[in-house]
Structure 1
Amino acid sequence: MSKDIRIKRGLNIKLKGQAEKVLSDAPKSQIFAIKPTDFHTVMPKMVVKEGQSVKQGEVLFYSKYSDKIKFTAPVSGVVKEIVRGAKRRILEVRVEADGKNINLEHGSKNPEEMSGEEVKDFILESGCWPFIKQRPYDVIANPDDKPKAIFISAYSTAPLAADVEFVLNNEEEAFQAGINAIAKLTEGKTHLSVDKTGTSFLNNVQNVEVHRVSGPHPAGNVGVQIHHIDPINAGERVWVINPADVIIIGRLFLNGAYDPSRVIAVAGSSVKNPKYYKTKIGAQISTFIYDAGVENPESIRMINGDVLTGEEVQPDNFLGFYNSTFTVIPEGNKYRMFGWLPFVGNSIPSMSRTSFAFLFKNKEFEVDTNLNGEERALVVTGEMEKVMPMDIYPMQLIKECMAGNIEKMENLGIYEVAPEDFALVDYASTSKIEAQAIIRQGLDIMIEEVG
């Protein structure tokens, strides 16, 4: 039985360069990297050394604060380099692929014949646990916790985001196996949110409660769905997982090996041939961007993720651990004539009537990274509330995060949000503040003080 969720507040930003639903194999990467910086609050403890041979799925490092949480090699080969930054902080663990894809075998298992603890131990041992994150705090889930529910959002609404139904195409068996395993990790419900207009197999997945979601971005954010289905209260834990990662867990149970293959959308107006590529977690970015027709790296912005929440990268960097979207747009190093007049031209998407763009409802825009202004005073305008489909006061919460007021942050709903839920606030607010960074700062304060 499915339940419908209709989101009214929010904003769809239509951009040029949506990935065509064509799947190609990305050229093979010679170097892969796992980046501890992808895992907030994780302090890595190395298991391997430079020059050591590893199999695909063999442990590279584990979390200092929980040795159960392991991070494994995406390919077989040799540990080429352990890249360190300031104070010898580990930034990347690079593996040079040998092209053989020799797996560390775990043996296939049927999750429906296993207890919840057995499923948990198997996922932990394989290195698949980092795919499971928790709310509150938006960090890797603590395996010692008992979540009241698990949420999976298979509805993507972010600009140029990968189409979930296309990413999961021909992966029905692995997805269902992953769901069967994940459902064992909670005594509560496992919730799967899907596109209300979708027609894929997702509507018939077993062992989940299906929710058919419609509405503008951020309707696809799992935090928004949690808020409307089963809100988080103080002391409660909810686990979340991306649908592409459910497949990886499913393959583990079906085949007995860790296989981090992933379908990603390479999109954006600076991509000549935007389409989907099959690659692996941690692949070098240059292996697929040039094949997609990306040129002139000095005049473009490459983003690991979508334009609202992604991270700026360079061609010699590596695909992020959680990313199914890679976006390339023009760099904002040029300025419009009379740019201080907001109503001049129709080339900038706008949520107000200060630009003629509001007349072109279905137009796809070619945007760049220009902020069109500097940071300004944080004043009450009502802009944030228009794009926040949750019953919280975004401006007040941002102010209390800046002040570090724990009690008020709790009262204003800090447990329910993640930085991605404030991505549209970043975009819509005329104050130009970094709302996502401020919310992350507030969450870190709560982790330190409340735990």
Structure 2
Amino acid sequence: MKILKRPAGLILLLLAALSFQSQDGVAGSNLLFYGLAALALIIFFYIVVSVADNFMVIESKQIGVKDTGSMGLFPSFREIFRPKKPEYLEKAHVYTLTKGYDIPMAGEPREEIREPKVTRFALTPPDFFGLMPIPKMLVEEGDTVKAGDPIFFDKKLNRIKFATPVSGEVIAINRGLKRSIAEVVILADNEQQSRDYTLPAATASREELVEFLLESGAWPAIRQRPYNVVADPDVVPRDIFISTFDTSPLGPDLKLTVRGRMDVFQAGIDVVRRLTNGLVYLGLDGRGEDPSPFEAINGAEKRYFRGAHPAGNVGVQIHHIHPCGAGENTVWTLGVEEVLLIGELFKNGRYDTTRLVALTGSSFSDPCYVKTYAGANIAELLSGAGEDIAENARVISGDVLSGTQKSTDGFVGFFDNQITAIPEGNEAEMFGWLLPLKPRASISPTIPVLSDDIEITTNTHGEKRAFVVNNDYEQVMPMDIYLTQLMKSILVNDLESMEGLGIYELVPEDVALAEFACVSKQPLQQILRQGHDTMIEQG
């Protein structure tokens, strides 16, 4: 019991001091007796009140009150000095997360949108976890396709078809290890053409909507938890979750994505909510002074989130709203771009993968936003936008925590709306572990962070070593999961412990920040994916 954190603790110490000092007086024995009696009485009442305070907080959690900091008898110092919430949050359902970390990183993009001309696009099977390495191809090199035409399907679920993001000519089917399909490359037409669709009636049943989405090629945009795989069309999800903001390092501003397209987003929500018997939840950004523009969306439950990264991760939002799991607790997730894809399909009758991609990182000459289609060639995207990359830089499709390293001749991932370029950290730093002379990001208070504009490199400042048990994961993960124990259970293939410790709730992006903070330099995302593979194999 941390007495010194309560005003009563100071009173107890004061009375004890007075009692002992009173022994020097004539009536010292009587004063000592009364002082000790008063001290015992105060301690007794303090224990009773503290237990009542704790029970009130526990009861508040059980009945669903998320902001339990103000539910006790005594306000905490954090509650007293917490900044006042904006007025629009006073009557909103708000989750205030106290754990997490915003990496101070240079290279934030300006709100300037450029439209470079890109001629090559690709659909990459590895972007869809759970898809067989060699899907069944429906096209060959030299075939002409329209946006939305299916080009391959999964051999295990042949109803799920994957469509080309643009119209043009198939110029390459590149293969990877063991002849797996690495990417299908399309040379885009100057004027984009979409496949023609016969839209289902407004009164169409859920089954008819599912069949249309499967045939249209838009179905792979929907992902399913556990495991973050392409959604199973034979499963009815308990709920559907959509995060409308990104808190990852230098993450794009998704308000720009829906600017002028809010009617399309609403059309997508109208379709998505008919795919579940439960609710559609929108995670809204509560960190600013103004309400989220997604507040105007109808047909969805809105929940505001405040806090550092990973507050914008849909997995964190699911954990706090209604945790997912196997069986009847299966849920689906979508991003803002995927909702817009479905909205364009049903509102305008076209397959449109338009993306607003943020070019971020200190290795870019002028970070900004570019408008393109999914799967754009990175080299053409950057040259068309007039961007130069510094020498000895690493290019990442996605953010620095959970993105994928790419060559400049690679392609943006299907679900990515960010390209990051940072310096390679392959230069030796004399006594870097002992005297960190260069600014660096760290959750440790021993390394002061004096700037919000640090040039982050790929250097991990250490090598992989044995697991060190500390509370670093707990500092940055706003989820009630014992991550160290979970990772160790994965390494020893303890299926029962993996299930009990919460593997169903996590995907790699949810543990990416913990991997950054890990003093043991463990590849937590890789280990978690290994655990997912094991659980899937075991059924």
TM-score (normalised: structure 1): 0.95
Residue 419 of structure 1 aligns with which residue? 508
Which structure 2 residues correspond to residues 41-56 of structure 1 after superposition, within 5 A?
41-43=130-132, 44-56=135-147
| 1:142 to partner: Cα distance | 0.5
| 1:87 to partner: Cα distance | 2.2
Residue 184 of structure 1 aligns with which residue? 274
Which structure 2 residues correspond to residues 3-18 of structure 1 after superposition, within 5 A?
3-18=93-108
2:163 pairs with 1:72: yes
Residue 57 of structure 1 aligns with which residue? 148
Q: Where is the strand percentage greater, Structure 1 or Structure 2?
A: 1
**In structure 2, which of residues 312, 317, 336 is the aligned counterpart of residue 243 of structure 1?**
336
C-alpha separation between the residues in 1 aligned to 2:127 and 2:534?
Answer: 19
Residue 427 of structure 2 aligns with which residue? 334
2:368 pairs with 1:275: yes
C-alpha separation between the residues in 2 aligned to 1:394 and 1:38?
Answer: 25
Instruction: Kindly name which structure, 1 or 2, has the bigger radius of gyration based on alpha carbons.
Output: 2
**In structure 2, which of residues 279, 283, 291 is the aligned counterpart of residue 199 of structure 1?**
291
C-alpha root-mean-square deviation of aligned residues, in Å?
1.5
Counterpart of 1:163, as a letter, is D
Distance 1:288-1:31 versus aligned 2 partners, 3 A rule? closer
Which structure 2 residues correspond to residues 67-106 of structure 1 after superposition, within 5 A?
67-106=158-197
C-alpha separation between the residues in 2 aligned to 1:411 and 1:139?
Answer: 21
Residue 125 of structure 1 aligns with which residue? 215
| 1:298 to partner: Cα distance | 4.7
Counterpart of 1:164, as a letter, is L
| 1:114 to partner: Cα distance | 2.8
Unaligned runs of 5+ in 1: none
C-alpha separation between the residues in 1 aligned to 2:484 and 2:228?
Answer: 20
Preserved CA contact (<8 Å) 1:267 1:326: yes
Residue 382 of structure 2 aligns with which residue? 289
Structure 1 range deviating more: 90-99 or 367-376: 90-99
Q: Where is the helix percentage greater, Structure 1 or Structure 2?
A: 2
Preserved CA contact (<8 Å) 2:196 2:349: yes
2:354 pairs with 1:264: no
Which structure 2 residues correspond to residues 12-411 of structure 1 after superposition, within 5 A?
12-27=102-117, 29-43=118-132, 44-108=135-199, 113-196=203-286, 197=288, 198-235=290-327, 236-292=329-385, 294-295=387-388, 298-342=391-435, 344-345=436-437, 347-357=439-449, 360=450, 363-411=452-500
C-alpha separation between the residues in 1 aligned to 2:358 and 2:266?
Answer: 23
SS of structure 1 residue aligned to 2:159: strand
Structure 1 range deviating more: 384-393 or 281-290: 281-290
Distance 1:78-1:349 versus aligned 2 partners, 3 A rule? same
How many residues align? The count is 444
C-alpha separation between the residues in 1 aligned to 2:145 and 2:127?
Answer: 21
Greater relative contact order (Cα < 8 A, sep 6+): 1
Preserved CA contact (<8 Å) 1:263 1:278: yes
SS of structure 1 residue aligned to 2:161: strand
Deviations 1:78-123 (A, max 9, x none): 111111123221111111123231221104557x533222222221
| 1:418 to partner: Cα distance | 0.6
| 1:204 to partner: Cα distance | 1.6
C-alpha separation between the residues in 2 aligned to 1:270 and 1:382?
Answer: 33
| 1:289 to partner: Cα distance | 2.0
Unaligned runs of 5+ in 2: 1-90
SS of structure 1 residue aligned to 2:158: strand
C-alpha separation between the residues in 1 aligned to 2:413 and 2:207?
Answer: 29
